[in-house]
Structure 1
Amino acid sequence: MESNYTIIIADDHPLFRNALFQSVHMAISGANLLETDSLNALLELLEKEPDVDLLLLDLKMPGANGMSGLIQLRADYPDLPIVVISASEESSVVTQVKHYGAFGFIPKSSDMRTLIAALNQVLEGEPYFPPGLVNESIPTNDLAERIAALTPQQYKVLGMLSDGLLNKQIAYELNVSEATIKAHMTAIFRKLGVKNRTQAVILLKEIND
């Protein structure tokens, strides 16, 4: 398949990212392939590249916080097809990925033929999920909607909170004042329906269990 698609590969494991890069290049000749290894780097790349056709996302890379990273990306970029590529191949994981708005799921154990077929199917506008691994009866999740309500900057602050950083450290990392971080905290707590940072971090972990 030859194209001028722009595809981002977001994975923090260099060996797998390189293997996936080669596989995608073989599957889709002429595609513009971009790579990134963290959620922050991915967000910066998406700001610079407004016309991305497909995002191949690892749930476990730094800053992604599992399912909550997918939820936030889905909220910020509703028109961007996101396909999760993960080593976690349990039915519960695949079901959650679909429930939270991914356009597809490709197990990292997939052989080349399966990978190429899945990529072509997705780029032709048809979702791809491994047969038999999706439970359609999963209930809606109010917590996902609350996380999706956060702005990209608020989500970034929440991620740093979960990493144990103090307000002063977060302000330094984001190059803003502590007052700005406190304002973000207030908004985060209100949107998540919690009273303090401990409760916020527990909620973030809850959605990835």
Structure 2
Amino acid sequence: MTKILIVEDHALVREAMAQRIGRLEPDLVCLESARADEALALLEAHDDVDLAIVDLMLPGASGFSLLGVLAKRYPDLPAIVVSAMDDDAAVRRALAAGASGFVSKASSGEVLAQAVREVLEGGMPTPRASPSATSARTRRSAERYGVTLAQARVMELLATGGSNREIASRLGLTEGTVKVHMTAIYRALGVSSRSQALVLLSRRNEES
């Protein structure tokens, strides 16, 4: 059974997220909290939570503070930030605080659902990237190589010769997140180095 904690102070938004995410799996359970302290109490009572979804603007302690506490107390618990504060600075700060992904509240419910799927599968979704904004080429790459959409985006920039730092800057990720994606990409391509990946991608791009 998958168990997800939603930390959002607006009841209507929280309930809507729970309803949308609840359709992902028949036995998925959503725990709901309006405050950071309530969220931590729920985590103490439930030691089998698979994912936390956190708003940044919470009463009392902020979402940023909660992310910091989660990173220290529950380092294996991934967290997705869902917030109206979706400027680049907020995204970078949330990821630096330990978030595994970022979804703007301006996004659709399907975008959130996709982010949840990716994180539960061990991926790290690109901040604010939505299926509608994802190019057909990116989707084909993801299907062709058996990687997530986030990893496919990193792969596309890798193929252009971008460094980890450049890729991180372009996608609004930390370099650490890019390294995680790169490891998964190497595994999917069956290579062990950046140069081997570049050669393989170049060859396959010429064939397609």
TM over 0.5: yes
1:18 counterpart letter in structure 2: E
Q: Which residue of 2 aligns with 1:7?
A: 4
Q: Which residue of 2 aligns with 1:95?
A: 92
Runs of 4+ more than 2 Å apart = 63-66, 129-133
SS at structure 2 position matched to 1:23: helix
Q: Which runs of 5+ in 2 are unaligned?
A: 130-169, 176-208
Which of 172, 176, 181 is matched with 1:134 structurally?
172
Q: Which residue of 1 aligns with 2:42?
A: 45
Q: Which runs of 5+ in 1 are unaligned?
A: 138-209
> What is the alpha-carbon distance in structure 2 between the residues aligned to residue 124 and residue 45 of structure 1?
23
> What is the alpha-carbon distance in structure 2 between the residues aligned to residue 109 and residue 69 of structure 1?
22
For the aligned residue pairs, the C-alpha RMSD in angstroms reads 1.9
1:134 counterpart letter in structure 2: G
2:56–2:85 CA contact under 8 A, matched in 1: no
Would you say 1:76 and 2:64 are equivalent positions? no
- The Cα of 1:135 is off from its aligned counterpart by 5.5
Q: 1:136 to 1:54 in 2, by over 3 A?
A: closer
Which of 75, 100, 104 is matched with 2:101 structurally?
104
- The Cα of 1:112 is off from its aligned counterpart by 2.6
2:54–2:63 CA contact under 8 A, matched in 1: no
1:94–1:134 CA contact under 8 A, matched in 2: yes
Would you say 1:54 and 2:51 are equivalent positions? yes
> What is the alpha-carbon distance in structure 2 between the residues aligned to residue 127 and residue 136 of structure 1?
11
- Which of 1 and 2 has higher RCO (CA within 8 Å, sep 6+)? 1
Q: Which residue of 2 aligns with 1:85?
A: 82
2:79 counterpart letter in structure 1: I
1:91–1:133 CA contact under 8 A, matched in 2: no
Which of the pair is proportionally richer in helix?
2
1:8 counterpart letter in structure 2: L
> What is the alpha-carbon distance in structure 2 between the residues aligned to residue 62 and residue 28 of structure 1?
31
Q: Deviations over 1:37-70 (max 9, x none)?
A: 1111111111100111000111111223242221
> What is the alpha-carbon distance in structure 2 between the residues aligned to residue 136 and residue 8 of structure 1?
24
Moved more, 35-44 or 64-73: 64-73
Moved more, 46-55 or 105-114: 105-114
Q: In percent, how many aligned pairs have the same letter?
A: 37
1:37–1:61 CA contact under 8 A, matched in 2: yes
In the superposition, the TM-score normalised over structure 2's length comes to: 0.60
2:70 counterpart letter in structure 1: L
Q: 1:66 to 1:112 in 2, by over 3 A?
A: closer
Alignment of 1:129-168 (within 5 A): 129-130=126-127, 131=129, 132=170, 134=172, 136=174
1:8–1:33 CA contact under 8 A, matched in 2: yes
> What is the alpha-carbon distance in structure 2 between the residues aligned to residue 78 and residue 46 of structure 1?
13
Q: Which residue of 2 aligns with 1:64?
A: 61
1:75 counterpart letter in structure 2: K
Q: Deviations over 1:9-46 (max 9, x none)?
A: 11110010011011101223320111011111111111
Q: What is the number of equivalent residue pairs in this alignment?
A: 135
